[in-house]
Structure formats: C-alpha cells, structure tokens
Amino acid sequence: MPSNARATHLTRRGLLAAGGALGLGAALAACGTEKKDTAKTSEKSGSWEFKDDRGQVVKTKSVPKNIVAFTGTAAALKDFGIEVKGVFGPTYVEDPKTKEKKPDVQAGDLDITKVKVIGNVWGEFKIEEYLKLEPEVLITDMWEKNDLWYVPAEQKDKILKIAPSVALWAADKSMPEVLQRHADLAASLGADVKTKQILDDKARFEAAAERVRKAAKGKKDIKVLIGSGSPDLFYVSTPVRPTDTLYFKELGVNLVVPTKLDPAGWFEGLSWENVDKYAADIIMLDNRTSALQPEALKAKPTWAALPAVKAGQVIPRVTEPVYSYAKCAPLLEDLAKALENAKKVA
C-alpha cells in the first residue's frame, strides 16, 4: 500500500495508489517486448530509437549516455549494466542528527555518492540541476497511462522540452513481462543482457517462482494480506494491479481481496480500530520509508493483537520493486519461505 501522502497526491490527480498498484486496467496493453519491435540502433548513423509503453517511439541521434532516471528504474538499469548520471525519487534517507545519508530501499545497488540527485521526495525535481546534466533521455515508471512517475505535473511540460522521455509500465502487467521490458531497454542502450551473471539471476528468479508455486499449492489455506501502515489508516491493497501481487496470484498464492475499495478501485483504508477486518495468516508489509514499519507499529495495540503479528508471520513487501532479476528473485524466495513455514493462525 502507498503511504498516506502518496494516496492523497494520487487522489488529487485522480489516480489513487494501491500499494504501488496503479493504472487503468490490463486492457491498456503495453507494446511488444521483442527488441526488434521496440528498439533500434542504426549501424551507419549510430542513431537510437525505442518504443516505450506509451506506444511512443523515442528517437535520439546517438545512443544516450547522459541518462536521468527515476531512482528505482536507475537501480534496475544498473543491474542490467547501464549507469545513469542523475536520479529523482526516493534515493537516500538522512539521519536527522548526523546528517549521514543512507541509500533508500528503492536505490538498490546505486552508489548514491556518484549520481546526481535532483529530487529525493515527492514533488521535488530541480530543473536547473537537470539541465546541468545535459540529459539525452529521461526514463521513469508509469503507473497510469501517460503519467510519468515522480515527474511533478506542474513542471512536466518544462521538463519534457529538455530531453525525450521513456516510460515503462509498473502496474497492470505481471512481473516477468515488466522485467523483460527493462531488459529490452537496457539492451537498446548498449548493455549485454546475456552475461553469465544476468542469466544466472534470471534462472534464480525462475526457480524462485516455481518454489512459490509449489509452496502455494501446499498451503492453499494460508491467507496472505498485502498491507501498508500510516498514522491514521491501514491500507489493504487489491492484489490484481501491482506487478508483484499479480504474479503471486498467478503462482497460486491465496491473497486477501478487499471488498470496499476506494473510488478508483485500488485499496481499502481501514481505521486502526477495524484493522482486523480481514483474516490473514501472513501479512506482507510495505517496506518503503514512507510507510510505518514494524517497530513503529508496536504502538498500535490493534496491530499487535493481529494473529499474524502475534505469530511472527509478518514479512516485508517491496512495494516498488527494482525491476531486475537480481532484485526480484529474493522477493519470491522470501515469499516462498514464508509460505513454507506458515501456520494457520487466522
């Protein structure tokens, strides 16, 4: 589930988040994933083009080197072998006392001391710093058709005049398809996506998926709830929109489906007095810095009383995955382990 701030923002723009789950439905299909259809580099001119998930063909005179990307997208590209110059989105967390900056969970393996951070929170995008990077392309996620994630709406027109943009779906598509699209983009930018490391990571991802499938088949009675805590509400996400939970569903995981969704149809917000509305044996809890984590939730008596919490069956949920095989394989492994060890408690 999103943080309260995120939900508020997306309500204002008519989007409304659901644990990193947005978009208008699976009918808005992204373009094909074959590289011959989506990317092309001319051997003679060195020009570059890529067909993104908006259906737009993005063209540049040469393969972009000065890349600025949403933090999570940048982290995924790094795992596929492409480095970026600048990032925007949750990149670091600063200690209020020491001022030490530590990588945000969405930064993956990015070296936050070597990339220019032009925005670290929602609504922050420093255009002057962006210009200094001489960007050749801007790359980000897309939760809603034609909406660029973490590109402020009020600055969008100015930003998009500076450099062409690429948007990849981060909702309404199952995780394997989204992973392939990130690999396609990295390959178009010059990465070798068939290195031994990447092939090993992909094999690990596929093995982890089969492990989840097997565990889910053996634990059909175990209910898994996707949730996110805020000071005032506990959000229960619908599982049919996020790329990860959509894939979990495909693998047979028994996921809680909330019945009274917000007007946009993404999540149900429960007061802390009613947090026990849905029976759950495992809770997957939003791990983003914008959401309350287990230590903070201890102050909520109704949270502590939940069967899954008392049984120690709460695991982190990477609400906004870094879309590389290296980062997504552990997500499946952790879920498989939780299912394998889970007891019926609800």
With a CB cutoff of 8 Å and minimum separation 6, the contacts of 39 are 48, 49, 50, 51, 184, 185, 187, 188
- What number is the average pLDDT over the span 292-301? 95
C-alpha span between 22 and 19 (Å, rounded): 8
Residue 261: which of 278, 239, 238 has the closest Cα?
238
* pLDDT tens-digit readout, 119-133: 999 999 999 999 999
> Torsions phi, psi of 70, nearest 5?
-55, 145
Closest to 331 measured CA to CA, from 179, 225, 209: 209
Tokens of 171: 């909702």
* Strand, coil or helix: 6: helix
Whether the pLDDT of residue 167 is over 90: the answer is yes
Tell me what pLDDT residue 33 has.
Answer: 38
What does the pLDDT read at residue 262? 83
d(CA 176, CA 325): 9
Looking at every residue in the chain, the average pLDDT score rounds to 88
pLDDT for 336 equals 98
Confidence of residue 39 (pLDDT cuts 50, 70, 90): low
Residue 140 forms beta bridges with which residues? 167
Averaged pLDDT for residues 110-119: 97
> Which distant-in-sequence residues (6+ apart) come within 8 Å of 92 by Cβ?
101, 102, 103, 104, 107, 112, 117, 120
Q: In one letter, which amino acid is 320? A: E
The per-residue pLDDT for range 129-157, each reduced to its tens digit, is 999 999 999 999 998 889 999 999 999 99
